[in-house]
Each structure stands twice: as C-alpha cells, then as structure tokens.
Structure 1
Amino acid sequence: MTLRSLLWRALALLSLALGLIGILLPVLPTVPFLLLAAWAAGKGWPALETWLLNHAHFGPHIRAWREHGAVPRRAKWLASLMMALSAAALTLTPLHLALKIGVPTLMLVVAIWLWRRPEN
C-alpha cells in the first residue's frame, strides 16, 4: 500500500468519524463529512466507498449528491436553522464587529447556494 493510499484512507476515516460525531452533536454537520469520506474512500479505499454508497441510511443521499448535486429538503431546513441559530449566537459574543457581520454573511451565501440545489 502506498503512502498516497494511506493518506486517502486517513482522510476517509477522519471524515467518517466527524460525520458520525455529527449525528450526536447538532452543531457539527453530518452529510458534508460523509460526502467527503465517500470521495476520499473512492481515491484510496474502494471497499469503504462501496459500503458508504450501499449504506441503508446514508447511501441514497451520497448517490443523489453524486448524480444530481441533490440535497434533501429536510437537510436544507436543518442546515438553515443551524446557521440562523449560530448567527444569532454570534451577536451575543465579544467578537470583533467584522466577524459578527462577515460570518453570518458567509452563512447566508451558503444557505442561498444550498436552497438552489435540486432536491431528492
């Protein structure tokens, strides 16, 4: 096994672990990490990629993203809600004003992009 393959596997495992932690922690997104895990596994661990693609719960979402760039409506709502709550929480922090404006602006751009994605 090459160093390159080991690095792809490490990225796949790290992403998978973060995605699984995201199931328990609402502030950590699950799906982007699972998409990254499947992508990295495809580069260096085909068996893990196959397992993720055939997973009963996550597989359909990963395949929909790969085939159509589709995001489920429920995921759009949850992501938008979490971004809105995060933006609101930022207003209560002592952060610099530029961050209090910049971060929510970036989240708004992400939300607009997300809602423009097709749904599965």
Structure 2
Amino acid sequence: MRRSFYLCLGFICLLLGLIGVILPLLPTTPFIILAAFCFSRSSKKFHEMLLNHRLFGSMIREWEAYGVIPLKVKCLSSSMMIIMISYPVLFKELAWWIDAIMIVTALIGLVYVWSKPSRVLSKSPS
C-alpha cells in the first residue's frame, strides 16, 4: 500500500514538474526532486530513469548526495518567485494580509533555496 502511494505521488510530482517547464507559475525543480524521492521509495526503475535523465539527472544526483541546488537554478527560481509575487502585490487591490502571506512565503522559499550549497564542496588536500 505504501509503495503504491509513493508511486502515484511520484507520477503526480513528475507531471507537475513537467508542467512547470512550460508554466512559470509552477516550479520544476522541487517537483522533480520530490518525484525522485517518491520513486526511490517505490520503483527502482523510475528512480533510475530520473537519475539518468539528460536534463534532470545531474541535479537529482547532486541533491540526493550533497543537498546541492545549482546557482543557475537558484537564480532562476528566485527570479520567478519575485516576479510571480510582484505583480499581485504591486498592482492588484488585495487585502494586506494576502500580500503579507505571499511575501512571507516567498521569503521562506528564498531563504531555503539560498541556504543550500550551490556546488559540491570537495575536501581540500591538507
């Protein structure tokens, strides 16, 4: 039962990640990483497929091994977060608390993304 749950959740996350490639509102990277996590718990075949994927494979391997978010991904995700909340906050008449929720959510996302290393830190020879 648990394996089936993770398999279904993996496919849902993979689908959302692929939609995120086209729609700027959905972030691709977190959904693909979550799909890889779900597949690692449910299907070795699909997990290996993502690990060997030409676009996503290296990102997933670096995340799984070292918790790395590449600088390019950090910059893109940060830009998208800022752009996506800027329009409604600046140009829409929303309640102040809705603006506050959007800003706090984006700040939490930005802090999390930028708290992760951008590349694998290798040991320096002593």
> What is the CA-CA distance between 1:99 and the residue it aligns to?
1.4
Aligned to 2:12: 14
Unmatched 5+ stretches in structure 2: 120-126
Aligned to 2:94: 95
Identity %: 32
Aligned to 1:83: 81
Distance 1:117 1:7 in 2: 29
How many equivalent pairs are there?
118
> What is the CA-CA distance between 1:87 and the residue it aligns to?
2.1
Distance 2:117 2:18 in 1: 25
Unmatched 5+ stretches in structure 1: none
What's the TM-score, normalizing by structure 1? 0.90
> What is the CA-CA distance between 1:86 and the residue it aligns to?
1.8
Aligned to 2:3: 5
Distance 2:104 2:45 in 1: 39
Aligned to 1:54: 52
What's the TM-score, normalizing by structure 2? 0.86
Look up the equivalent residue of 1:20 and give its one-letter code. L
Give secondary structure in 2 for the equivalent of 1:26: coil
Q: Which moved more, 1:84-93 or 1:64-73?
A: 84-93
Aligned to 2:110: 111
Distance 1:57 1:7 in 2: 26
Give structure 1 regions of 4+ aligned residues with deviation exceeding 4 angstroms: none
C-alpha offsets along residues 3-49 of structure 1, whole Å, 9 cap, x if unaligned?
32221111011111111111111111111111111111111111100
> What is the CA-CA distance between 1:67 and the residue it aligns to?
1.1
Distance 2:14 2:66 in 1: 22
Q: Which moved more, 1:90-99 or 1:35-44?
A: 90-99
Look up the equivalent residue of 1:102 and give its one-letter code. I
